[in-house]
Amino acid sequence: MLTPDDDAYWRKYHVTPRYLAGSLGVDDDPSLQPFVDLDWPHHHIDDDLGKDVFVSPDGRLRIGFFGDDYILWNIAAYEDPFGPRRWAATFNQNTPPEIVAAFTTALAHDYEEGKNRFLARPPVRWHEQTQPLTEAGWIRDGGAEIGTVEIIAPDKQAGILIDIRCRDPENERCELWSGPPGWGTRAEATFTTRTPGHLIAATAAAMADPAPLVRYERSIPQGLRDLVQLTPVEPPTPAKPTPLDVRRTAVSLAIERAFHSSSANPRAVAALARTTSPLAASDARPTALTAQQVPAPATSRSPGRRL
């Protein structure tokens, strides 16, 4: 088992497909950043779950993040801050935060526009929500239950399920999912009946995006590792060597070759010793006193006298 003392513990990978990348663990979570950037009122509830709640200045949007609970994100919109809820969206703990961020970014943008687009009526037909998926090659499942529409990813590990019979505004009409069934593997995002279609489409587009996500290998759930492709994140490119570095390397290699070709040559041995010293003679700075400036040692005025 890897420990924080192992290099592999900190090794990062590009994960494909992104909808199976899982959570970010202790890394920075981008899902709430749009509301931080807008400086919305933020309330932290210091309980066992560590709840964080953002509220729009007019109180019509509320975004809750519930620590390590099963439903991590709970988002609700209101026509009147004291009236009934118009729609709600939830995302569970297995949903990649980058996908949640696609929803919250679109929501924050709607609010900033000031045209109440976040309260828009949902489309009569379901194509708006699924268009990003069908354009990415996801296919409608012909075996879905009557009265529902399901679009499935090519690897059959993700999909969107829409209940076109649902009319109750409080019921969950649409679900985006990925991963095998199970508490630690299935990601789920749910949207009630009156959730605007363009917000669901923004989330679907983030799921279908072919760009990988970056994760530590240890953070990928065990039940997903056989379903994803991991590509190591390359280390940073080393700094380009300076002309002085190139010259030093060339000189060192030339002298080393000369040393090996004639190891008994005293000149080669002396040159190699100089280049491998902490400060090569060619790079040494002149001292304050040169050899010509050093005064000669005093001599005795009585040559015949011994000291």
What was the pLDDT predicted at 28? 73
**Parent domain of 98:** 8-232
Residue 215 banded pLDDT, cuts 50, 70, 90: very high
Question: Do 43 and 104 share a structural domain?
Answer: yes
Question: Do 96 and 17 share a structural domain?
Answer: yes
SS3 28: coil
pTM of the model: 0.75
Residue 280 banded pLDDT, cuts 50, 70, 90: very low
Average pLDDT, the chain: 84
What was the pLDDT predicted at 157? 98
What was the pLDDT predicted at 271? 54
Number of folded domains that form the chain: 2
Residue 261 banded pLDDT, cuts 50, 70, 90: low
Q: Do 49 and 69 touch, CB atoms closer than 8 A?
A: yes
**Helix, strand, coil shares of the chain as percentages rounded to 5?**
30, 25, 45
**What tokens does 241 get?**
């060597």
**What tokens does 291 get?**
């050899």
Question: Do 154 and 61 share a structural domain?
Answer: yes
Question: Do 248 and 107 share a structural domain?
Answer: no
Question: Do 114 and 47 share a structural domain?
Answer: yes
Question: Do 181 and 47 share a structural domain?
Answer: yes
Q: What is the mean pLDDT of residues 252-280?
A: 58
Q: Do 18 and 211 touch, CB atoms closer than 8 A?
A: yes
Q: What is the mean pLDDT of residues 75-87?
A: 97
Q: What is the DSSP letter of 117?
A: G
Question: Do 121 and 261 share a structural domain?
Answer: no
Greater pLDDT, 152 or 245: 152
Greater pLDDT, 139 or 221: 139
Residue at 178 is within a domain = yes
Question: Do 150 and 264 share a structural domain?
Answer: no
pLDDT, tens digit (0-9, with 9 covering 90-100), for 9-29: 788 999 999 999 998 865 578
Residue at 61 is within a domain = yes
Question: Do 249 and 221 share a structural domain?
Answer: no
Residue at 184 is within a domain = yes
d(CA 292, CA 270): 24
pLDDT, tens digit (0-9, with 9 covering 90-100), for 173-205: 999 999 999 999 999 999 999 999 999 999 999
Greater pLDDT, 254 or 20: 20
Question: Do 155 and 117 share a structural domain?
Answer: yes
The region of weakest confidence among 186-195, 225-234, 291-300 is: 291-300
Residue 210 banded pLDDT, cuts 50, 70, 90: very high
Question: Do 84 and 48 share a structural domain?
Answer: yes
